Structure 1
Amino acid sequence: MQPGWSDAEQAEALGRHAPTLIARVWADHFDARVAGTARQVQFQLRPGAGASAVYSLRRGTTEHFVGLSTERLEPSPGLRRSDVPGPVGVDRARIPLRISSWLHPQDPRLPGLAHAGVAATAERLWGGGDRLTDLRTMTYRPLRRAVFRADFSTPGPVVATRRVYLKVLRAGQAEPLVLRHRLLADAGLPVADVLDPVAHSVVATAGLPGTALGAAMRLEGAGGVHPATLVSLLDRLPAAVLDLPRHPSWTDRLSRYAHAAGSALPEERRGIAALADHLRLVIDAHDAGPVVPVHGDFYEANLLMDGPAVSGLLDLDSVGPGHRVDDLACLLGHLAMIPALGGRNFRRERIIWSTLQAWGTEFSREVEAGSLYARAAAVAVSLIAGARRPGMRTWNREALARLDVARRLAELAQ
């Protein structure tokens, strides 16, 4: 966070100055015509840390990407900086906003991006002699993490294919993730095998069979999945997980996410703050239960299904000690959000909420219902600011729909 600048002001300033800043800072790489094609394709606002974005630039048929961030970054090769002034007539005019910039894939906090995201390097490191046939970005959060999907095939004469996922992490995060995979694999849970090498803060894992639970939800509500199946999966998390560092839950960061939601929807700022205060009171009034092994990010995108059975458990970065109620609330909060995600999702609202109430009843046999729904509402609050996406004109409408979900879940916590 840069002194004197709110989260919303940093985001606004970054977007307003980005084209001019790119043209000035990267004048030795892009002429004015190319710089003028700058288009935001990725945006992320981290409350209390700053705003980051990725811009696409076109040079003929070639596309280039430039990263920008208001976060405080240590000097590194390829990182350039420029200051932009504050609004005229405001004291902040004497405190310029520093914006750092880099050429993709030289992300200053993701050293492995230049390895996992470059076809020749990915093939050499993780191909095992096979030919890389496709390398696709699944997700990229500037300065945080990235995931690539790599498809390989044998050279023949009998062609076999395989899929590998390359998770790019910050320095020091790869080894702890590998440990979590091994702990859960040894306990018999359906987690992906880690592939060698673990290098450049990149963890490569084999693909797992199955369909994401979210896809089943969109098609047929519960998708034939009994909630007790999901509870039993959590029961299988090994006790050794309790020795790992504890990650804060969505509930622990409620005030931060409420602030981000208020920045995204300034006209709703007071109402969001009041909702967060109410949720905190309800949460504090209920027993969270004992500290047990938890997944930490337990929701439909991280659960692969083979019919009614779980065939894969993904995204183990937050596995550690915590409260069971937070895992179950995370699942309900994301489930409730599906109809608010735009497109055809809204057509599934009736069946999704019917499933949510049935699952909530089952989960309430494990944890206190008031705590469960209040924490699910806190998860929903954490998702409001994420509605703001580049090129999406209706993001404000979606953000309001997400806020409505949080309020509906809060009502169930009464």
Structure 2
Amino acid sequence: MLTGGFGPFSRADLTGLLGALVASDHRRMLSATLHDVQYRAGHYYVIAEVSAHHDGGVGQFYYGLTTAPVPSEARGYATKLHDYNIFAWEHPHDPLLPGLTLAATPAQVRQHFAPDRELTALHTVIYRPMNRAVFKARLTPQTPAGLGETLYLKVLRPGIAQTLYNIHLTLGAAGVPVVPPIAPPVADVLTLAGGQGMPLGELARTEGVVTRFDARQLIDLLDRFPREILHYPHRASWADRYQEFIQSAHQAMPEEYARLGQLAYRFDQAHQQLDLGPVVPTHGDLYEAHILVDPVTGEIRQILDVDGAGPGYRVDDYACLIGHVAVLGYAHNPQWGWQTAMRFFGQLAPYTNPHTLAVRSAAVVVSLIPGYQPDEQTRARGQRYLRVVEALLELA
């Protein structure tokens, strides 16, 4: 019924598990599809769609599964498979995202965020089980001739939404062009306005290496981050977590065991002598999808997703952008993403340690290697990303 397994679990294992899960809800499974498999910090997180007989008809149901520990009061189905504890739940009852039910239910979205408006669309933008989710809500115009409005509902773990709301206010007051929150959070859901401008990745795709965006704009942008941001908790950057992501790549690409082992050794050696610079206020996840620019001038208009704002290293914000851009257009010849990344590298290297920038950019690309590679296209992407990692390390 499934196209394949992942990690230690075979297709038969998962078919049996999902069948038992669906039966516990008094349904009979007809088919199932794995929509996403994530491997984070040694645990799997899975989203599966199940077609099943229910109440005399056939319905589509979504389930989350994880090998990670969950709260004892979590609503779901616990079992054991190949010495792994597995917990499963029906969407939207995520064990660590209680606000998911609100954000995923149109009637509740209308009640809490648009009581006087018509909700015309509600789409999932991203869902990382037990971590966070973002929904895009479209509202009717406020006036007959007006334009519709877009809201983004960010679902976070308990206690985080208020902190993020405060970060938005702090950055906005300091002149950082963040999207404004619509209102204080409700039930761990923060509502943000739609951003203004074109995503930098889209501009780079259309213009290629000659893009009008100058990466040196990031220097002034990050200089505006106020020192209050240093009071927020320090979080490991994507580059800091290279060992975790190499392990994830091992799980997805066992045929590259020796190659990945050599990369791990090179990263370990490089990190023994990296000059990361001083700890400063950082964005924490500053890549092309989170940078909105003017499509005519290439000037930054707004930045998105400041969830990771806090103390860190400026070079890691630069590396996050370079690493993400370097893998764009990986299937094209020439690779416009790599060429654009090298342009950005050349613009930013004089303002930081070039050796460190190359190593940390390569570490960011390791974090992007697909942790689940069920088909030839995804396997080819994993291979291409490995080559980009090696090419960036050659710049160090």
Task: Give the TM-score normalised by the residue count of structure 1.
Answer: 0.88
Letter in 1 for 2:201: G
Describe how 1:57-136 pairs up with structure 2 within 5 A: 57-59=50-52, 62-84=59-81, 86=82, 96-136=83-123
Secondary structure of 2:182's partner?
strand
Provide runs of 4+ in structure 1 moved above 6 Å: none
Secondary structure of 2:328's partner?
helix
Equivalence for 1:373: 358
Structure 1 residues 410 and 202 mapped into 2: Cα distance closer, same or farther (>3 Å)? same
Residue 344 (structure 2) pairs with residue 359 (structure 1):
yes
Structure 2 residue corresponding to 1:208, chosen from 192, 195, 208: 195
Residue 240 (structure 2) pairs with residue 243 (structure 1):
no
Secondary structure of 1:129's partner?
coil
Equivalence for 2:252: 264
Residue 307 (structure 2) pairs with residue 322 (structure 1):
no
Describe how 1:185-196 pairs up with structure 2 within 5 A: 185-196=172-183
Question: Which shifted more, 310-319 or 250-259?
Answer: 250-259
Equivalence for 2:44: 51
Question: Which shifted more, 173-182 or 353-362?
Answer: 353-362
Letter in 2 for 1:183: T
How many residue pairs align between the two structures? Answer: 385
Equivalence for 2:327: 337
Structure 1 residue corresponding to 2:216, chosen from 225, 228, 248: 228
C-alpha distance in structure 1 between counterparts of 2:354 and 2:244, whole Å: 24
Structure 2 residue corresponding to 1:142, chosen from 129, 132, 146: 129
Q: Is the 8 A contact 1:19 1:36 kept in 2?
A: no
C-alpha distance in structure 1 between counterparts of 2:10 and 2:157, whole Å: 23
C-alpha distance in structure 1 between counterparts of 2:376 and 2:339, whole Å: 30
- C-alpha displacement at 1:61, in angstroms? 6.6
Q: Tell me the alpha carbon deviations over residues 327-346 of structure 1, each in whole angstroms, 9 at most, x when there is no partner.
A: 11111111111133x4xxx2
Equivalence for 2:279: 291
Structure 2 residues without counterparts, runs of 5 or longer: none
Equivalence for 2:35: 41
Letter in 2 for 1:375: R
Structure 1 residues without counterparts, runs of 5 or longer: 1-8, 87-95
Q: Tell me the alpha carbon deviations over residues 186-245 of structure 1, each in whole angstroms, 9 at most, x when there is no partner.
A: 011111111224112111101111110011111112521112112221121112111211
C-alpha distance in structure 2 between counterparts of 1:127 and 1:12, whole Å: 45
Q: Is the 8 A contact 1:138 1:146 kept in 2?
A: yes
Letter in 2 for 1:70: T
Structure 1 residues 147 and 384 mapped into 2: Cα distance closer, same or farther (>3 Å)? same
Q: Tell me the alpha carbon deviations over residues 295-317 of structure 1, each in whole angstroms, 9 at most, x when there is no partner.
A: 11111011011131111111111
Structure 1 residue corresponding to 2:368, chosen from 383, 398, 405: 383
Equivalence for 2:153: 166
Structure 1 residues 207 and 18 mapped into 2: Cα distance closer, same or farther (>3 Å)? same
Equivalence for 1:20: 16
C-alpha distance in structure 2 between counterparts of 1:186 and 1:133, whole Å: 32
Residue 297 (structure 2) pairs with residue 303 (structure 1):
no
C-alpha distance in structure 1 between counterparts of 2:356 and 2:104, whole Å: 42
Q: Tell me the alpha carbon deviations over residues 97-116 of structure 1, each in whole angstroms, 9 at most, x when there is no partner.
A: 22111111111111011000
Equivalence for 2:389: 406
Secondary structure of 1:199's partner?
coil
Q: Is the 8 A contact 1:149 1:163 kept in 2?
A: yes
Q: Tell me the alpha carbon deviations over residues 338-378 of structure 1, each in whole angstroms, 9 at most, x when there is no partner.
A: 133x4xxx2451x4333322221221111111110011001
Equivalence for 2:377: 394
Q: Is the 8 A contact 2:326 2:339 kept in 1?
A: no
Structure 1 residues 148 and 15 mapped into 2: Cα distance closer, same or farther (>3 Å)? farther
C-alpha distance in structure 1 between counterparts of 2:313 and 2:142, whole Å: 49
C-alpha distance in structure 2 between counterparts of 1:230 and 1:347, whole Å: 28
Q: Is the 8 A contact 2:239 2:360 kept in 1?
A: yes
